[in-house]
Amino acid sequence: MSSVHQAFVVMGSGKDSRKVPVGSSTVVGRGSGCDLVIRDLAASRRHLEIRDVNGTYQCRDLDSSNGTLINGELAAARELKDGDEIRIGTTPLRFVLERKTTPSPLGKTVFLQTMIDPSGREKALPSSRSKELLEAAYTLMNSLSSNFNPCQLVDTILETTMSAVRAQRGAVLFAGEDHELQPCSECGHVHTISDGTPRLAGLDEIKISESVANRVLRDGEDVLFQSARSDGVVDPTASIAALRLTSILCVPIRTQREIYGILYIDTDVADHEYTQDDMLLAAAAGNSAGLALENAKIHRDLLEKQRIEHDIEAAWTIQEGFLVRDWPTDDPRIEVFGVTRPAKVVGGDFYDFARLDDDHVGLLIGDVSGKGVPAALTMALLLAEFRLCATGAESTAEVLRRLNERMVGRSRRGTFCTAALVALNLRTGNLMAANAGHHPVLRISNEEVTTFIPASGPPLGILTGVEWIDEEAIVRPGETLLMYTDGIVEARTVDPDEAEGREHGEYGLEGLDGVVREQIGSTPQALIEAVLDDVDGYCRPLAPHDDCTMIALKYHGHD
Amino acid sequence: MRIEADKTADETIITVEGDIDLYTSPELRKVVLKAVPKAAIGVGIHLGGITYMDSSGVATLVEGLRSAKEHGKAFTLIAPSTAVMKVLELARLDSIFEVRSD
């Protein structure tokens, strides 16, 4: 007999309400196999059944643990009328009868799509259930991808997964160095949720099946234990028996490379069992969580790296302070200017300018092998030692010899340093210079550009007992001396037209000579800025790959 | 980079082939620093098969040379390829190494 009415059970209200038609038999409960699944821990897996008996609707409590209230009264069995309130735990449901608009061609409306295949495995989920799981997965993905706080991540994973699989108890544990179980390294506690209440617990307070947890941590496998079926997924062990657990769901929190920890869920409620589908969701949560934790780790490493870079920048500011920047303006006999521009944040190039006495000045340029922080530290040390070695030295070669002996005693890992040193008598224009493996000095007059003072020995810091030779010359008024490092003459270009005809495609002495000739008569500062511009132009669109350093002195003569 | 050490004669010959760069030079460094104290008279580094050497390679050779001086051993570069010589000349180190053709 076909009724003119269609019966519904309505859960919730407003936009979030769900309305499930009642068929010839409709089962409501917490279990995933129910026609209407309710997320209420006080509900039993199969809590009650509503049957269509010749057009009347009979509600029967299926021996639930906590009973069923119909219109506020505990009822084992009762006929339902339009508008009746059915309460399971804290979840209210409403039974409604509506007039059918068109007669259903089906004698029974099937909402339950679960079918049992011959092997006994569930083939499909009720559509409402799969939607819930999808929603949970979506929530997880969203919340995990934007959070870099490990503690919050762990809480989200636990809450979302446990609510989706209606878990009674759960915890997230981490892997120690020897794959032992550890609390969260961020807060030192184990994140747990028990009967809906989150709690941070100590490691020794946690009662879990360690055999299962260790197995998941060690092998990275998902484990599902169901005591009722005990289908051999995992052997019931002593710890499971001792804790009287009925079902365990445990999955690794992992990436492809690493197992970070486990998501562990269990229950000791007699008829509460986790399903294969619960496990699939938990496994997806574990994978997402692994990625999210890895992200958080990378994010943290990045912050640390930025902090270090910031420190290095600060170090460079300090180091730059060692280099002279107050060029003499009170001596009409000379103009001096120098600059260093590190290729990395810090550099190993250096220059120095010193007034030795009223009539003598010293110019130094140097290049420590290697780049970055190690070179920069060596450079800082060398600058300090140079001042020390220059005190009381008879000649430029003597200064280099002293500097070399100090450096050989200290240098590690084959670090060495090229250096050229010039001392100029401002009264006479007499110059004394020595060169330890460095580029020759460029001498710029109004007529010509030449090099002089080539290296008379190897770089500093390699061998003891090395002697360099003092070279002497006379600098005429109007001449400029320019000293430079590798970064200038070894600058490279990616533009084949620019590189055309240059040896090794490098800027070279040829490039330097070209721009210097255009700057005859310029001040040292204008000269150096023009060279830097030209080198930058040569390297463009890249930046010069090595530190670029120059120091120049223009001699105007005495009186 | 491929390294072979041959300790048949008074001189331990270390033959290196390929590139000596930031990634391969630590291995060469280990082999050289281990060979130097054990060598009877000295160590020869055969560099004929080097296609590229950067400044970390230069530093490795310098460290080998310094270690040899400390131990009173000879340290010779054998048949350095043009790639090696170019770098040594650029660093103005060609004068500090003893070099022979084979």
Using a 10 angstrom Cβ sphere, with 0-12 exposed, 13-18 middle and 19 or more buried, the burial of residue A328 is middle
CB–CB of B91 and A455 under 8 A? Answer: no
pLDDT of residue A3: 53
Do you know the residue count of chain A?
559
Least confident interval from A85-94, A174-183, A371-380, A466-475: A371-380
Position A397 pLDDT exceeds 90:
yes
Report CB contact under 8 Å: B93, A369.
Answer: no
The proportion of chain B whose per-residue pLDDT surpasses 90, expressed as a percent, equals: 24
* CA distances (Å), origin A291, targets A141, A254, A550, B44: 10, 7, 49, 51
Distances (CA, A) of A378 to A324, A350, A374, A413, A415: 17, 10, 6, 12, 8
* Separation of CA A533 from chain center: 37
Spell out which chain B residues touch chain A, with contact meaning CB-CB distance below 8 angstroms: 55-56, 58-66, 69, 86, 90-93, 95-96
* Three-class SS state of A137: helix
| DSSP letters spanning A399-419 | HHHHHHHHHHHH--TT--EEE
Q: What is the pLDDT of residues A77-92, one digit of tens each?
A: 889 998 899 998 888 8
Inter-chain residue contact A416 with B56, CB threshold 8 Å:
no
d(CA B35, CA A240): 60
A413 vs B63, B86, B95: nearest CB: B63
Quick check: A421 pLDDT over 90?
A: yes
Q: Return the DSSP state at A286.
A: H
Whether the Cβ atoms of residue A21 and residue A11 lie closer than 8 Å to each other? no
Which residue of chain B has the CA closest to A546? Answer: B55
Taking contacts as CB-CB distances below 8 angstroms, the residues of chain A near B98 are: none
Least confident of A263-267, A400-404, A412-416, B73-77: A412-416
**Sheet-wide strand order for A56-61:** A36-37, A25-29, A48-53, A56-61, A77-80
Partners of A436 in the β-ladder: A419, A457
* Chain B CA closest to residue A436: B92
pLDDT at A344 over 70: yes
Chain B neighbors of A455, CB-CB under 8 A = 92
Average pLDDT of chain A is: 82
In this structure, what token pair is assigned to residue A17? 């309400």
Q: What is the 3-state secondary structure (H, E, C) of A155-200?
A: HHHHHHHHHHCCCCEEEEEEECCCCCEECCCCCCCEEEEECCEEEE
User: Is A415 within 8 Å of chain B by CB?
Assistant: yes
The 3-state DSSP class for residue A484 equals strand
Report the gap between the CA of A211 and the closest CA in chain B (Å). Answer: 44
Q: What is the pLDDT of residue A111?
A: 28
For CA atoms A259, A265, A266, A272, the dihedral sign is: negative
- Which site among A344, A407, A438, A463 would you substitute to test the B interface, given the most B Cβ atoms closer than 10 Å to its Cβ? A463
Q: What percent of chain A has pLDDT over 70?
A: 91
Amino acid at A486: D
Higher pLDDT, A210 or A527: A527
Quick check: B62 and A462 CB within 8 A? yes
Instruction: Quick: pLDDT tens for A305-328.
Output: 888 888 877 877 777 777 888 888
Predicted local distance difference test score (pLDDT) of residue A487:
86
For A422-463, write each residue's pLDDT tens digit. Answer: 999 999 999 999 999 899 999 999 888 998 998 888 889 888
What is B2-100's CATH number, 1.10.390.10, 3.20.20.70, 3.30.750.24, 3.30.565.10?
3.30.750.24
The CA distance from A88 to A112, in Å, is 21
CB-based contact, A378 to chain B, within 8 Å: no
Q: What is the pLDDT of residues A251-285, one digit of tens each?
A: 999 888 888 899 999 888 877 788 888 888 888 88
Give whichever of A18-32, A132-146, A525-539, B52-66 has the largest mean pLDDT. A525-539
CA distance A203 to chain B (A): 44
Provide φ and ψ at A487, rounded to 5°. -55, -30
- pLDDT of amino acid A308: 83
pLDDT, position A384? 84
What residue type is B68 in one-letter code? A
Residue A119 in this model has a pLDDT that exceeds 50: no
Q: How far apart are CA A416 and CA A488, in angstroms?
A: 19
At A238, the pLDDT band (50, 70, 90 cuts) reads low
Mean pLDDT value across residues A510-516? 89
Over residues A217-238, mean pLDDT:
67
Retrieve residue A145's tokens.
Answer: 């991808």
Contact A512, A491 (CB under 8 A): no
CB pair distance less than 8 Å for B62 and A486: no
What is the distance between the alpha carbons of residues A368 and A348, in angstroms, rounded to a whole number? Answer: 5
**Which residue would you say has higher pLDDT here, A108 or A527?**
A527
Sequence-separated (6 or more) residues with CB below 8 Å from residue A113: A124, A125, A126, A127
Please report which confidence band the pLDDT of residue A114 belongs to, taking 50, 70 and 90 as the band edges: very low
Least confident of A101-115, A228-242, A498-512, A518-532: A101-115
The residue extents of the domains of chain B are: 2-100
Collect all residues with Cβ–Cβ distance below 8 Å to A197 and sequence separation of at least 6. Answer: none
Q: What is residue A4's predicted lDDT score, i.e. its pLDDT?
A: 67
* pTM score over 0.80: no
For the sheet with B2-6, list strands across it: B2-6, B11-20, B42-53, B74-78, B98-100
Q: What is the pLDDT of residues A158-194, one digit of tens each?
A: 888 888 888 888 999 998 888 888 898 888 899 999 8
In chain B, residues with a C-beta closer than 8 Å to the C-beta of A464 are 69
Residue A532 scores a pLDDT above 50: yes
Q: Where in A243-373 does DSSP place strands (E)?
A: 247-254, 259-267, 334-341, 349-357, 360-368
Report A:235-274 residues touching B (Cβ under 8 A): none
The predicted pLDDT at position A173 comes to: 92
Instruction: Give the residue from chain B lying closest to A415, CA to CA.
Output: B59
- The yes-or-no verdict on residue A116 having pLDDT over 50 is no
